[in-house]
Amino acid sequence: MNTPTEPVANQPIRFGTRSAAALLSGHWFKYVLQVVSVVVLSRMLSPDDYGLLAMTTGIVAFATVLGDLGLSMAALQSRTITPAQQSNLFWLNTASGILLFLVFNACTTVIVEYYQNPGVASLCRILSLNFVFNGMSAQFRIEANRRGQFGRVSLVESIAGAVGIAVGVTGATFGLGARALGWQQVAVAGVTLVGLVLAVRWRPGMPSRHAQMRQLVSFGGSVMLIQMLVAINQSVDAVALGRYQLPSVVGVYDRSRQISVMPIQQLATPMTRLAIPKISQEGPAAGSPLVPALAVHEPLAFISTAMLALVAMNGELFARVLLGANWVGVGHVVSALSLAAAIQMSGYVYYWLLVASGQQRTLLLSELVPRVTMIIAIFALAKWGVLAVAWCWVGGQALMIATACIYALPRIGVTTGEAFRVAFRYTWPFVLITGTFPWVVELVTVHAGWGIDSHYAVALASGLAAMGAALVVWRDGRSMLGRIFRLAKNTLKGVPEP
């Protein structure tokens, strides 16, 4: 048995078919639940309700990162950690969550004054509960990840998602409006906490003054700066639009972003849990961190950019099917945001490589200029509407990949040319299709005077034809498709991947 100060080695996480399947299957079930939530609640609630939620969660997202203190990533990245250290991390996360709950409630009046909309006050008070729930659950989630218990985490998150939908639908039925969406998020966080406590066989001990925390806190602080920058960048669109536009406009933008971002979330988020420990553990043995990183990134980027290309080419159709007839005019926004997401997904491997290699300062410096530029541009152009903000995202993601390839990756031994090749080898045709076909189809159908149904049919048919043609002539794409089929076949047979 380990004493409180004995290091516990980080258990190797096998990125074979079983671990990947357990993690992805749970997240894809969550994806189905999210789609159900979008389809049902978008028909029960108005764009104003979703706009108020987006305006509030834009600020909540930044505060959530501040409350985590970067300690989740510090625990996940560390090769060894003692029980005393992990217990201290739990109490730090919990204390910061409670403090944020109190501070956020005290600042509700300031937030209302900023938006000039009293409707956000009740949402601020409701969503502040998540600071406490998320703070308490952080280390239970990390412990499950370190033990490779992805199936348990996925099950807990799926149950929490289902309960959240039930709460949201119930609240909408009783006329709670935007508050129904707030209570939905609180229900998800609360059930997740209870489920992780029951599923993970770990309990925190009392705080210890003898545990060596300096390295973990230092790493967490560096990561927190990066995460805060990312959080500001991720939420600035809703915050800026909420300042200058009506809540209904913010709601339309929020749902457009949800449609374009949902596919990438269900792939990138779970794979990050596998990728960073895998790169950290296997990189030195492989001779280069690129080897384990590409094993995760290449199929992930291929699948996600293909999905985003399909979404981009049929943005208006997806919006009509998912959101209902009342949500119109979102097609162009969905297409632009899908292009931004495709570029982001192509460069996701850079984040994994730099964090797993302990190069958080390099990552911060690499992303500082692009993200600050994007933040300024979004605030400057928010008055012009949602499409201008969406194109700021496209330019910002492209700038981030450029700075990572030119500045950051060479500092861990990856040349600029190799960095660009790694990012786009298995994604460039899909990125190209995402960035061109929606606008070409729009130009053709409008010039021909075709109706909306004809536009839907042409967009879907031409998009599938373009992707099929790309796979016919694209050797790397055919190779990756075969690799994915083999992984799926091995998963069904229960054959582990080495």
Q: How many residues does the chain have?
A: 498
User: pLDDT category, 18, cuts 50, 70, 90?
Assistant: low
Lowest mean pLDDT among 29-38, 280-289, 341-350: 280-289
Instruction: Tell me what pLDDT residue 381 has.
Output: 93
Considering the chain, what is the average pLDDT of its residues?
81
Left (φ > 0), alpha (ψ -120 to 50) or beta: where does 447 sit? alpha
User: pLDDT category, 127, cuts 50, 70, 90?
Assistant: very high
333-349 mean pLDDT: 87
Q: Looking at the structure, do residues 239 and 303 belong to the same domain, yes or no? A: no
Instruction: Tell me what pLDDT residue 421 has.
Output: 86
Q: Looking at the structure, do residues 66 and 154 belong to the same domain, yes or no? A: yes
pLDDT at residue 488 greater than cutoff 70? no
pLDDT at residue 190 greater than cutoff 90? yes
Which of 199, 219, 192, 203 minimizes the C-alpha distance to 134? Answer: 192
Which of 209, 244, 279 is the last residue in one of the domains? 244
Instruction: Tell me what pLDDT residue 288 has.
Output: 63
Burial grade of 365 (CB within 10 A; 0-12, 13-18, 19 or more): middle
Which of 334, 111, 91, 77 minimizes the C-alpha distance to 226? Answer: 77
Q: pLDDT tens digit string along 438-456?
A: 878 777 777 777 777 777 7
Q: Which residues contact 209 (CB under 8 A, 6 or more apart)?
A: none
Between these two residues, 260 and 186, which has the higher pLDDT value? 186
pLDDT at residue 182 greater than cutoff 90? yes
Which of 392, 400, 473, 403 minimizes the C-alpha distance to 432? Answer: 473
> What six digits make up the tokens of 379?
């605030």
Q: pLDDT tens digit string along 79-107?
A: 677 788 878 888 888 998 899 899 989 99
Q: Looking at the structure, do residues 408 and 450 belong to the same domain, yes or no? A: yes
| Domain extent for 35 | 1-244
Q: Rank 399-413, 421-435, 442-456 by mean pLDDT and report only the highest.
A: 399-413
Q: Looking at the structure, do residues 123 and 143 belong to the same domain, yes or no? A: yes
Lowest mean pLDDT among 273-287, 424-438, 467-481: 273-287
Q: Looking at the structure, do residues 23 and 97 belong to the same domain, yes or no? A: yes
**Residue 211 per-residue DSSP state:** S
Phi, psi (5° rounding) for residue 156? -60, -45
412-416 mean pLDDT: 85
Instruction: Tell me what pLDDT residue 301 has.
Output: 83
Q: Rank 298-312, 327-341, 382-396, 460-474 by mean pLDDT and report only the highest.
A: 382-396
Alpha helix (H) ranges present in 117-177? Answer: 120-127, 129-146, 150-173
Q: pLDDT tens digit string along 297-326?
A: 888 888 888 888 888 888 878 787 888 777
466-471 mean pLDDT: 83
Instruction: Tell me what pLDDT residue 188 has.
Output: 94
Between these two residues, 112 and 495, which has the higher pLDDT value? 112
Q: Which residues contact 357 (CB under 8 A, 6 or more apart)?
A: 279, 280, 283, 289, 412
Q: Count how many domains the chain has.
A: 2
483-488 mean pLDDT: 76
Which of 345, 342, 348 minimizes the C-alpha distance to 312? Answer: 342
**Residue 382 per-residue DSSP state:** G
* Residue 123, number of CB atoms within 10 A of its CB: 25
Q: Looking at the structure, do residues 236 and 250 belong to the same domain, yes or no? A: no
Q: Looking at the structure, do residues 232 and 321 belong to the same domain, yes or no? A: no
pLDDT at residue 1 greater than cutoff 60? no
Between these two residues, 175 and 352, which has the higher pLDDT value? 175
Phi, psi (5° rounding) for residue 389? -65, -40
What SS3 class is residue 449? coil
User: pLDDT category, 11, cuts 50, 70, 90?
Assistant: very low
pLDDT at residue 173 greater than cutoff 90? yes
Q: Looking at the structure, do residues 359 and 490 belong to the same domain, yes or no? A: yes
Contact assessment for residue 322 and residue 39, using Cβ atoms and an 8 Å cutoff? yes
Instruction: Tell me what pLDDT residue 228 has.
Output: 76
pLDDT at residue 378 greater than cutoff 90? yes
pTM reported for the whole predicted model:
0.78
Q: pLDDT tens digit string along 195-215?
A: 999 988 888 888 777 777 777
User: pLDDT category, 38, cuts 50, 70, 90?
Assistant: confident
User: pLDDT category, 494, cuts 50, 70, 90?
Assistant: low
% of the chain surpassing 90 pLDDT: 23
Element (H, E) at 81: strand 80-81
Q: Looking at the structure, do residues 271 and 234 belong to the same domain, yes or no? A: no
User: pLDDT category, 380, cuts 50, 70, 90?
Assistant: very high
Q: Looking at the structure, do residues 230 and 265 belong to the same domain, yes or no? A: no
Instruction: Tell me what pLDDT residue 9 has.
Output: 40
**CA distance to 31, 84, 342, per residue, from 372 (Å):** 31, 38, 21
Task: Return the bridge partners of 9, or none.
Answer: 80
Which of 224, 244, 264 is the last residue in one of the domains? 244
Q: pLDDT tens digit string along 246-265?
A: 898 898 898 888 888 776 76
pLDDT at residue 280 greater than cutoff 50? yes
Which of 220, 244, 268 is the last residue in one of the domains? 244
pLDDT at residue 328 greater than cutoff 50? yes
Between these two residues, 386 and 282, which has the higher pLDDT value? 386
Q: Looking at the structure, do residues 142 and 251 belong to the same domain, yes or no? A: no
Q: Looking at the structure, do residues 20 and 134 belong to the same domain, yes or no? A: yes
User: pLDDT category, 158, cuts 50, 70, 90?
Assistant: confident
